[in-house]
Structure 1
Amino acid sequence: MATSTSESSTFTEEWLLGPEDTHFYTRTYTASSPRAVVLFIHGFAEYVGRYEWAHGIYSSRGITVFAFDQRGFGRTGMDEENRSPGYTYCKTTFREQFADIDWALKLVHKRFPKLPIFLMGHSMVWLLSASGSFPTRTSPPPTQESISLLSGVVATSPLLVQPSPVPRPVRFVAGMVGKLFPLMLVPAPVNSDALTHDRMVNEAAEKDPMCPKTVSLKALDEVLGGCEQVLRKDYKHWPKNLPLLLVHGTADKMTSYAASQEFFAKVDAQDKEFKAFEDGYHELVHEPDGVKEKFVDECITWILAHSKQT
């Protein structure tokens, strides 16, 4: 365990043993007088270190944040010294991802038993907080015990539909080849200029070795299939009493704003709220000109308001 301090925040770093003896890199931003705790799930081909500024703001306003680099990503998947033996970038599956999130949720509850827990995630559809796919999934299903621990879900820029979908013939071939070579990496070109309106952030992401522009065939097949399943039928399983905040930029070129609107309209949550950021790109947490501050404030305000209800 190590404690690190930057100009904006203080956090504790730990390598924790999770499902299947997987070593997970984790960060905890502990609030001095916590009123809630957030389990944060990052997006595809990135890592929790990219959210340091935002998570420092959360902890300064009474919300403890627990975040981990997902299986196959960030330091969990790429740290040569500490990652699990045999693990490489993008070596992951739906079933493993859900088991990992279930483990992290129970860990957070054990560490902070008296605090309401909120799940928050960005972009990637196989994450419970990124699209509601955890509370709506039927295969593999989350445990009712885990769902009962949640006080709310915050989904930001979820990948439900791609603005420029991969052609079905290409997906079919990739799926067939992926059955034989699931860990084969193929190009996953990302237009870094579409991340935010901040050129410095985009350039840093483009050069970041922890943000590869590749994807394994297995992960590609599961992500795209999961997108369709959540929007087509899994939304029906959302618990009515589980609050949802869905946030999306109207100019997002990487995930569909219209699909988020459709999902929001379909999901039968008694307490749900949609926040649209006009002209916002994919990573609202990095948008300049006061947008990122407004985005973080909106999320914190919603979480604290729902903390009072628990």
Structure 2
Amino acid sequence: MGRPVTQPRLTAQSLVAADGFELPMRVWLPEGGEAPRAVIVALHGFNDYSNAFETAGRNLARHGIATYAYDQRGFGATRDRGIWPGTDTLVADLGTAVEQVRARHPRVPVHVLGESMGGAVVLTALTRPDAPRVDGAILVAPAVWGRETMGFFPRAALWVTYNLVPGMVVHPPRELNIQPSDNIEMLRALGRDPLVIKGSRVDALEGLTDLMSAALPACGRLEVPSLVLYGAREQVLPPKPVERALADFEAGGRHVVAVYPDGYHMLLRDLKGSLVVEDIAAWIADPKIPLASGADRAPRQLLAAK
């Protein structure tokens, strides 16, 4: 993030940060000019962009919930796509977005929603002393794969490549056969989308690891009431950090934790993604009512049984 040169603002199509950097934004509002009963600021995952919330945003709008999703720096249609901006910059942009959305919708509850990497940004931001003021958080498969939960060889490989060839672009090995969703048509569309990054620079992977390493211990310090969602068929994140995160979230008793038996990493875009969106809308309306899907019952046991 550069030095402040302007007042942050929301335009028709972007969030403008204090350093003048423009973050393309998509907005889904309730139909017919109806005032929203709640607002969500949504953060996408690694190598993705704001289009990730197209279906969820439209469905939430039908419940009277407005969604503002922006392309985080280094992703989507932003300048310097593929270049890691740094954890502090990602956190600062979230604070700016929340501040601007609150100004646009005064006296309306504002929630933040983070998917995967976006969840790690939310966790890190909300557990800092200068955390943005929000009414709640929705964490969708938050990325909490910190260094301490990685094996020796992945850590060593990342260290060597980062120090020798930080700008080298790498692609996920096909032989890993990781399935992020059961929505195959959606996955094929992502493969055709030019704004979805297909290969990652090593220094971006190093930055992502730093972010996830900050997010994992933040799970036990999160004070903001939150809805934490994982899929029992999670394949992108390994079980060890996910199980630790779930234990930390449940320990405080202030969060609702849910695991979907048929859910994958991309819960909102899975074939049963509408069920997850319904739970989010219901939790925003009343976080004390059990989820209609039943995914908030014995979540850790469900995950262990996958």
TM over 0.5: yes
1:119 paired residue number: 112
Moved more, 35-44 or 155-164: 155-164
What TM-score results when the alignment is normalised by the length of structure 1? 0.78
Unaligned ranges ≥5, structure 2: 1-10, 290-306
Shift of 1:118: 0.6
- Cα distance in 1 for partners of 2:101, 2:82 equals 25
- Counterpart mapping for 1:125-140 below 5 A: 127-129=120-122, 132-136=123-127
Q: 2:61 aligns with which of 59, 67, 70?
A: 59
2:19 paired residue number: 20
1:263 paired residue number: 245
CA contact (8 A) 1:37 1:65 kept: yes
Summarize deviations over 1:129-174 as a string: whole Å, max 9, x none.
Answer: 3xx22222xxxx4515x2xx21111101112128986612112113
What TM-score results when the alignment is normalised by the length of structure 2? 0.79
User: 1:307 and 1:216, CA in 2 relative to 1: closer, same or farther beyond 3 A?
Assistant: farther
CA contact (8 A) 2:44 2:118 kept: no
Shift of 1:207: 2.3
CA contact (8 A) 1:198 1:287 kept: yes
2:90 paired residue number: 97
Letter in structure 2 aligned against 1:238: L
Task: Give the root-mean-square deviation of aligned CA atoms.
Answer: 2.7
- Cα distance in 1 for partners of 2:118, 2:93 equals 15
User: 1:90 and 1:157, CA in 2 relative to 1: closer, same or farther beyond 3 A?
Assistant: same
3-state SS of the aligned residue for 1:211?
coil
- Cα distance in 2 for partners of 1:119, 1:254 equals 22
Corresponding position: 1:72 with 2:74: yes
Q: 2:185 aligns with which of 200, 212, 220?
A: 200
Shift of 1:270: 4.3
User: 1:33 and 1:126, CA in 2 relative to 1: closer, same or farther beyond 3 A?
Assistant: closer
User: 1:286 and 1:185, CA in 2 relative to 1: closer, same or farther beyond 3 A?
Assistant: same
Count of residue correspondences: 270
Q: 1:222 aligns with which of 207, 222, 227?
A: 207
- Cα distance in 1 for partners of 2:118, 2:245 equals 12
CA contact (8 A) 1:36 1:62 kept: yes
Letter in structure 2 aligned against 1:14: Q
Equivalent pairs: percent with the same residue?
A: 23
Summarize deviations over 1:42-94 as a string: whole Å, max 9, x none.
Answer: 111111123212101111111111110111111124xxxxxxxxx33334111
- Cα distance in 1 for partners of 2:59, 2:119 equals 26
User: 1:35 and 1:256, CA in 2 relative to 1: closer, same or farther beyond 3 A?
Assistant: farther
- Counterpart mapping for 1:40-51 below 5 A: 40-51=42-53
Q: 2:227 aligns with which of 233, 245, 264?
A: 245
CA contact (8 A) 1:72 1:90 kept: yes
User: 1:126 and 1:304, CA in 2 relative to 1: closer, same or farther beyond 3 A?
Assistant: closer
CA contact (8 A) 1:243 1:269 kept: no
